[in-house]
Amino acid sequence: MFPDLKVLPRPEPESAAQEAHDAWQQEYEQWQRLRCGCGRGYFCREHGTWISGPEVGSEVAVTWEQQQRGSCPEYHYRGYENIPTYVGQRDGLSPENPKA
């Protein structure tokens, strides 16, 4: 999906954990501006999870510029059991290559 990406998007740690947050911030700079083809999809800071362009377009999710803690779509707070593609995409797995 993003061949030049060197780190996996991941949730933002609490800022009180300064060392962990500093490391995350350096990683975040590599993926914060990634967008899908329509230009609206992005990885959220709070979860490091993909928010699709159609979710933004239909107002299920806020735009990248409007995101803040607590503004993600509801399913980000419920787990990913009903989201069949994200974990595999994030980890470089696919149905054709399940053990990448």
What are 4-40's pLDDT values in tens digits?
Answer: 788 889 999 988 889 999 999 999 999 998 998 899 9
Q: Is 68 a domain residue?
A: yes
The number of beta carbons lying within 10 Å of the beta carbon of residue 76 is 19
- What is the domain range of residue 49? 18-90
What are 52-67's pLDDT values in tens digits?
Answer: 999 999 999 999 999 9
| pLDDT score recorded for residue 29 | 93
CA–CA separation, 79 and 44 (whole Å): 15
How many domains in the chain? 1
Between 80 and 10, residue with greater pLDDT: 10
Mean pLDDT lowest among 26-30, 44-48, 96-100? 96-100
At 74, the pLDDT band (50, 70, 90 cuts) reads confident
CA–CA separation, 99 and 33 (whole Å): 28
Q: Is 76 a domain residue?
A: yes
At 91, the pLDDT band (50, 70, 90 cuts) reads very low
Q: Is 6 a domain residue?
A: no
Burial 13-42 (b: 16+ CB within 10 A, else e): eeeeeeeeeeebeeebeebeebebeeebbb
CA count, 13 A, side-chain hemisphere, 17 = 8
Residue 81 pLDDT greater than 70, yes or no? no
Q: Is 5 a domain residue?
A: no
Q: Is 100 a domain residue?
A: no
